[in-house]
Structure 1
Amino acid sequence: MTHTPAVDSSNADQLRSWDGASGAFWTERAERFDQGMAGYHDTLLRAAGIRPDSVVLDIGCGSGQVTRDAARIAREGSALGVDLSSTLLALARTLAAKDQLTNAMFVQADAQVHDFGAARFDVAVSRHGTMFFGDRQAAFANIARAIRPGGRFVQLTWQALDRNEGISTFRTIASGGRELPPPPPEAPTPFSLSDPDRVRQLLRGAGFVDVEMTGLTAPMYYGRDVDDAFHFIASHFASAFGQLDDESRVRALDALKADIADHLTDRGVLYGAAHWLIHARRA
């Protein structure tokens, strides 16, 4: 029997997406996402300060790389990964079982409303998992309740669109010359937590203190060669390319392949990226 998790109404579209087409897309490309985030992954784990006996919550865990690595560090504790995608979670469980990580667990849940229990976790982490809540204030307040006083909440989120070469380039090319509005700051998009003032206000309002934001830059990997990266990026932006007429779409795809070729290095196709490492402490 399929279990549908309880979600806040503001996250209903996210459930349909992540437990549908988006979840299927990233399940098939989970390794590619982990490769893309490799320049940030270890920094996030170090900032989390996980100890051997820590109890860790991973929000928006996807296929579970952060959860599994947290469980390895917290060998006397545990790590719980939560996500809206049942397919990503199935992969996460398979990979944890393969690695014999019995202290890594996974639950399909909306972290905005899920009852985690009070003051249960020493550390909460999130790698690209907190930008998509319909009500970020409510979500952070619920996460704060789950963290013990003095516990840490460490997130990795995108900086502004214009600081991220890859996404801004692909978005512009896929527009086919149309002028696109900037992502709305209140909407659940990858850039909803890119404004430091807004992030500090949200976290302090939810019960966190000592909010620190550190800018990180590292290239993101998109493929081993031009064709590999082209297939991945064109698939990721398929809906945008699909809005173009046939002639414009051909031109745009040709432009994409040419731009990818300009970014081919001896380490694969790389584009510049910029993130925020957000560290806060539960009051």
Structure 2
Amino acid sequence: MPTIVNTAQAEAWNGYEGEHWASHADRYDAVNSGFNDYVLDHVRPEDRVLDIGCGNGQLTRLAAARARSATGVDLSGPMLATARERAAEVPNVRFEQGDAQVHPFPEGGFDVALSRFGVMFFADPVAAFANVRRALSPGGRLAFLCMTALAGTDLGRVFGAMAAYLPQPTGPDGSGPTSFANPDRTKAVLTEAGFEEVECTRVEADQIWGRDVPDAAGFISNWGPVRHHLSMVDNATAAKATEALTEALRRFATPEAVRLRGTAWLVTATRP
């Protein structure tokens, strides 16, 4: 195992959380892949791409198809196994297990660093982004997606339906998945890490959570944070939370799928 300083996240992503994402790779891609082009549009044919928090590797593979090469890095052994299997016939892709905060990237070894919702969990985000900056060549670019605040969003409405029974599964804004929900904080972190020309643009995409309401409710109930909170309450309360979740999803059901409109910040910056 490589050097890890973000031990809590390493435990989660090499335990249930990572195993769930790895075994449901297509489902998580259905949730997040609508956002792919927002970051892929920053890839040029001559680029050496670094995909931070690459997970099951879909974005890495797609970047490789547009670039000279693509390298994905992630804490999760289970997801990297899936990523390597799915990229077995892609010659210009490789994957490394590591903590981006301390991983020994080659200095100046990449032209662009991308991430699709993989940068929100750093133990020390300034140190992590400084390490990513060091890995970029002069003039190198950074483009990543992170969650917005949940208030007023479709996902916020769904999670909010369970609020009478369970804590917010993402935690308060400014921590966990919504750690970069505030663009001012994001700009401050990246500036301190040595980046310039930091911009945050709100973007949207459809997210498919299931083929029908029971399927979507079951999938969300087994997502790590929701599953954890359900396990912390009695059976009757858990049943009420699940019922509230199911009812909240009905408004988003179509004949084809349960579809929510997702929101994200597209964050871009450059290395001087």
Partner residue of 1:244 out of 233, 251, 261: 233
One-letter amino acid of the structure 2 residue matched with residue 222 of structure 1:
W
Partners of 2:169 and 2:219 in 1: how far apart?
24
One-letter amino acid of the structure 2 residue matched with residue 87 of structure 1:
P
Partner of 1:265: 254
How many equivalent pairs are there? Answer: 270
Partners of 2:148 and 2:53 in 1: how far apart?
18
> For residues 71-82 of structure 1, what are the structure 2 equivalents within 5 Å?
71-74=64-67, 77-82=68-73
Deviations 1:84-132 (A, max 9, x none): 01110011011001xx211100000001001102111000001111100
- Note if contact 1:175-1:241 (Cα within 8 Å) is conserved in structure 2: no
Partners of 2:36 and 2:136 in 1: how far apart?
22
Partner residue of 1:221 out of 197, 208, 211: 208
Deviating above 4 A after TM superposition, structure 1's stretches of 4 or more consecutive aligned residues are: 178-182
The alignment partner of 1:32 has SS state of helix
CA offset at residue 262 of structure 1? Answer: 2.3
Partner of 1:96: 87
One-letter amino acid of the structure 1 residue matched with residue 267 of structure 2:
I
1:179–1:51: structure 2 CA closer, same or farther, 3 Å change rule?
Answer: closer
Partners of 1:82 and 1:249 in 2: how far apart?
36
CA offset at residue 178 of structure 1? Answer: 5.8
Partners of 1:251 and 1:51 in 2: how far apart?
50
The alignment partner of 1:70 has SS state of helix
The alignment partner of 1:94 has SS state of helix
Deviations 1:201-226 (A, max 9, x none): 11111111111111012232100112
Partners of 1:169 and 1:242 in 2: how far apart?
22
The alignment partner of 1:277 has SS state of strand
TM-score (normalised: structure 2): 0.93
RMSD: 1.8
1:180–1:23: structure 2 CA closer, same or farther, 3 Å change rule?
Answer: closer
- Note if contact 1:185-1:191 (Cα within 8 Å) is conserved in structure 2: yes
The runs of 5 or more residues in structure 1 that have no matched partner are: none
CA offset at residue 20 of structure 1? Answer: 1.1
One-letter amino acid of the structure 2 residue matched with residue 171 of structure 1:
F
TM-score (normalised: structure 1): 0.90
- Note if contact 2:169-2:229 (Cα within 8 Å) is conserved in structure 1: no
Partner residue of 1:29 out of 15, 24, 29: 24
Partners of 1:121 and 1:56 in 2: how far apart?
6
CA offset at residue 64 of structure 1? Answer: 0.3
1:24–1:148: structure 2 CA closer, same or farther, 3 Å change rule?
Answer: same
One-letter amino acid of the structure 2 residue matched with residue 209 of structure 1:
E
1:184–1:44: structure 2 CA closer, same or farther, 3 Å change rule?
Answer: same
Deviations 1:175-210 (A, max 9, x none): 4446769835564x0100111111111111111111
- Note if contact 1:174-1:241 (Cα within 8 Å) is conserved in structure 2: no
Partner of 2:221: 234
